Amino acid sequence: MSTFKQLQEIMASALELPTDAIRENSTMEEIEEWDSLGHVHIMVALEQAFDLYMDVDDFAELDSVPAILQYLAAEHAA
């Protein structure tokens, strides 16, 4: 499964949305359910799925699907 597909499922589950509501260019601004609480759920789910320990100061910057994908790519490279 591609990283995007995985992310799509994680986010849809965390926000209780259908999978196709999450697109490759989705941002926090345009998805109503992606509020500050939904954001914490996404971050927690990401950590568990990708076995990460994220810095809380990074949370705020990960406010779009491209930003999250970029972060995951960097983490995997590291």
Partner 1 sequence: MKISDNQFEKLLALQSAQEIKSILALRGMAPTLQQAGKLRQHLASLGTARTLRVGIVHTYTSELLDPWLHFSAALNQFDLDLYHAPYGTTVQEATSDSGLSRHNPDLTLLLLTREDLHPAFQVPAACIKAEDKQDIAEQAAKTLLGIVRQFRDTVGGHIVVTLLPEQTPPGLGLYDVMAEQSETRWWHGIKADIAIRIREELSGVSFLDMDQLVMQVGRDNFFDPRLWYSSVFPFSSDGALAICNAVTSIGASLHLTKAKVIVVDADNTLWGGVIGEDGIDGIALGPEHPGRAFVDFQKRLLSLQQRGFILALCSKNNPEDLNEVLLSHPHQLLKNEHFAAQRVNWLPKPDNLQSIAEELNLGLDSFVFVDDSDYECSAVRHSLPAVDVIQVPSRPTDIPACLDALARLEIVSLTAEDLEKTVMYAQERMRKTQREQLSETGGSIDDYLRSLNMKMSVRLDDTASVARLAQLTQKTNQFNLTTRRYTEKDITGMITSERFFVYHFSLADNFGSSGIVGLAIVELSAANKARLDTFLMSCRVIGRMAEQAFLSRVVKHLKTRGIEQLSAEYIPTRKNVLVENFLPDNGFQTSGDGGYTTCLGNTASGAGAPADDFPITIEGPVQDEHI
Measure the CA–CA gap between 57 and 4, rounded to whole angstroms.
23
Member of 7, 8, 14, 65 binding partner 1 (CB under 8 A): 14
Q: Site for partner 1 (CB under 8 A): which residue of 5, 19, 27, 44?
A: 44
Which has the closest alpha carbon to 65: 29, 16, 13?
A: 29
Nearest to 11 by CA among 47, 36, 38: 38
Residue 37 is a binding residue for partner 1 (CB under 8 A): yes
The residues of the shown chain that bind partner 1, judged by CB under 8 A, are 9-10, 13-14, 16, 36-37, 40-41, 44-45, 48-49, 54-56, 59
